[in-house]
Amino acid sequence: KVVFVLALAFKVVQIQKKKRFKNLPPLLQYILFISIGIYREDFQGRLFFS
């Protein structure tokens, strides 16, 4: 789980460098990407265990 969070944080930094979401506050960006990450993890988990 820790590795997943670290990878997610790294991805957020990479995207911030691209400045796609430069208009969003950093906290909102963080929440957005955590939500996307959790959704993807949950979706893949359900697919795997279904």
Q: How do residues 12-45 score in pLDDT, each as one tens digit?
A: 777 666 665 566 677 777 777 777 776 666 656 5
User: What is residue 50's predicted lDDT score, i.e. its pLDDT?
Assistant: 41
Determine if the pTM surpasses 0.75.
no
> What is the 8-class DSSP label of residue 24?
S
The structure tokens 């820790």 sit at 2
Q: Which of 49, 27, 29 is nearest to 37 (CA)?
A: 29
Task: Tell me the H-state helices in the chain.
Answer: 2-18, 26-49
3-state secondary structure of 50: coil
